[in-house]
Homo-oligomer: A and B are copies of this chain.
Amino acid sequence: MEIKVLKNIFSSNEARAEEIKKLLAEKKVFMANFLSSPGSGKTTIADRMISGLKGKYGMAVIEGDIATTNDAKKLQKHDIPIIQIETALFQRDCHLESMWIRKCLDDFDLDKTDFVIIENIGNLVCPAEFDLGEDERIVVLSVTEGEDKPVKYPMMFNSSQVALVNKVDLLPHLDYNLQEALDNIRRVNPKMRIFQVSAKTGEGFDEFLKYLDKRIAQKKSS
Contacts and interface: CB of A to CB of B under 8 A. Distances in A.
A53 interface: no
State the number of copies, please.
2
Given A122-B124, A123-B124, 11 more contacts: A37-B37, A37-B122, A39-B144, A40-B145, A66-B152, A122-B149, A122-B153, A142-B144, A144-B145, A144-B167, A170-B173
Interface stretch (A1-9, A14-22, A75-83, A108-116): A1-9
Given A5-B1, A9-B2, A92-B155, A66 B146 contact: no
Given A122-B124, A145-B38, A68 B152 contact: yes
A149 B38 contact: yes
A122 B67 CA distance: 19
Interface string A117-154: 00001111110010000000000001011101101111
Interface of A: 1-2, 5, 8-9, 37-40, 65-68, 70, 88, 92, 94, 121-126, 129, 142, 144-146, 148-149, 151-155, 167, 170, 173-175, 200
Contacts of A142: 39, 144
A167 to B, nearest CB: 7
A115 to B, nearest CB: 25
B5 A39 contact: no
Given A39-B145, A170-B144, A173-B170, A65 B123 contact: no
A95 to B, nearest CB: 8
A154 B123 contact: no
Contacts of A174: 170
Contacts of A144: 39, 142, 144-145, 167, 170
A40 B151 CA distance: 16
A153 B122 CA distance: 9
